[in-house]
């Protein structure tokens, strides 16, 4: 049976990760400056090649951990890119993933060592190959997912204010949301734990802090709820 494969073309399979983060300045993307040809010195998504003993998800997990130091990252497989001339060196098919991480939690030294850098979505540089297309497709998917499911909590610190949550959703969706309507919908889901603690930096009275209740969220998922922002 294996002999029947001998005449088949061999191609490389890459995994490219669109890594989103969020801070006080808005939604950001993690990019790396290439230190090898082709396109040496230009900005690229973070990625690597699939190994013989890996499935695609394992390769994405490995790549994300290598460059951020984090495990258990929210990620989702997006699309396969197979244009014949997409990589000038060798015939390469790429499968893209997008991932959400809390910028405060990642290993900053790893980022520095790999010549990687966070950019705001609006100010991100032009990327190599078809990586710009990958980013745009990832943003579209993220916006769609966020508009119907509360998946953006991975981008927030463990404790956050309702204002921070609102600003996160506005950054992802790239539009202003009605504050009262947003808070009402979020509270109706019962997926937040309101704490007795307050963030005293936001105002004189302070703002209550919340945490994300994953158990309640998973229960809601079983009921196929929709956020509809």
* CA 203 to mean position of chain CA atoms: 30
Of 138, 136, 139, 130, give the one whose Cα is nearest residue 14: 130
Residue 190 lies in a domain: yes
The pLDDT value recorded for residue 222 is 74
Residues of the domain holding 70: 12-148
Residue 48 DSSP symbol: E
Whether residue 79 is found in the same domain as residue 142: yes
52 and 141 together in one domain: yes
pLDDT digits (tens, 9 = 90+) for 135-152: 999 999 999 988 888 788
* Sign of the dihedral through C-alpha 108, 21, 156, 98: negative
Six-digit token string for 159: 């404790």
Neighbouring C-beta atoms of residue 196, cutoff 10 Å? 6
Last residue of a domain, one of 133, 148, 163: 148
| 227, part of any domain | no
**94 and 166 together in one domain:** no
Q: What is the mean pLDDT of residues 131-138?
A: 98
Q: Is residue 7 part of a domain?
A: no
Whole-number pLDDT of residue 27: 94
Q: For residue 227, is pLDDT > 90?
A: no
**172-222 residue pLDDT tens:** 999 999 999 999 999 988 899 999 998 887 667 789 999 999 888 888 777
> What is the domain-level CATH number for residue 33?
3.90.79.10
Of the chain, the percentage scoring pLDDT greater than 70 comes to 97
Q: What integer pLDDT is reported at residue 95 of this predicted model? A: 98
Q: Are strands 92-100 and 12-23 parallel, antiparallel or unpaired?
A: parallel
What single string gives the DSSP state of each residue in 92-108?
A: EEEEEEEEE--GGGS-H
Q: Based on the domain organization, do 43 and 119 belong to the same domain?
A: yes
pTM of this prediction?
A: 0.90
Same domain for 73 and 99, yes or no, is yes
Tens-place pLDDT, residues 48-69: 999 999 999 999 999 999 999 9
Confidence label for 2 from pLDDT (cuts 50, 70 and 90): low
Alpha helices in 28-154 (DSSP H): 56-68, 108-113, 131-148
Considering the domain architecture, whether residues 168 and 58 belong to the same structural domain is answered as: no
- 6 within some domain: no
Q: What is the pLDDT of residue 59?
A: 98
Longest dimension (CA), the chain: 75
pLDDT tens, position by position, 6-49: 788 999 999 999 999 998 788 999 999 998 999 999 999 999 99
CA distances to 100, 124, 126, 137, 219 from 17, in Å: 10, 15, 16, 12, 29
Q: Is residue 1 part of a domain?
A: no
- Do 17 and 81 lie in a common domain? yes
The answer to whether the beta carbons of residues 159 and 196 sit under 8 Å apart is no
**What per-residue confidence (pLDDT) applies to 17?**
98
Average pLDDT over residues 63-83: 94
Place of tokens 């509270």: 187
Across 67-95, average pLDDT: 95
**56 shares its domain with 140:** yes
Residue 88 lies in a domain: yes
Asked if pLDDT for residue 225 goes beyond 90, the answer is no
The per-residue pLDDT for 6 is: 79
**Co-location of 22 and 59 in the same domain:** yes
Number of folded domains that form the chain:
2
Q: Residue 101: which of 169, 160, 151 has the closest Cα?
A: 151
């Amino acid at each position: 049976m294996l002999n029947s494969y001998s005449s088949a073309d061999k191609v490389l399979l890459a995994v490219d990760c669109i890594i989103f983060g969020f801070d006080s300045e808005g939604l950001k993307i993690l990019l790396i400056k290439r230190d090898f040809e082709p396109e040496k010195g230009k900005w690229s998504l973070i990625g690597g090649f699939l190994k013989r003993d890996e499935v695609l998800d394992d390769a994405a997990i490995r790549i994300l951990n290598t460059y951020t130091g984090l495990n258990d990252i929210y990620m989702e497989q997006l699309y396969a890119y197979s244009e014949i001339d997409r990589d000038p060196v060798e015939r390469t098919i790429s499968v893209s993933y997008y991932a959400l991480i809390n910028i405060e939690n990642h290993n900053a030294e790893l980022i520095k060592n790999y010549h990687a850098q966070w950019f705001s979505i609006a100010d991100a540089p032009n990327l190599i190959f078809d990586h710009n297309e990958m980013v745009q497709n990832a943003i579209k998917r993220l916006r769609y997912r966020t508009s119907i499911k509360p998946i953006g909590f991975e981008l927030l610190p463990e404790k956050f204010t309702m204002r921070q949550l609102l600003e996160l959703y506005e950054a992802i969706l790239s539009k202003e949301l009605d504050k009262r309507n947003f808070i009402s919908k979020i509270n109706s889901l019962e997926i937040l734990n309101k704490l007795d603690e307050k963030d005293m930096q936001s105002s004189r009275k302070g703002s209550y802090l919340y945490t994300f209740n994953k158990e309640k969220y998973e229960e809601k998922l079983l009921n196929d709820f929709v956020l509809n922002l």
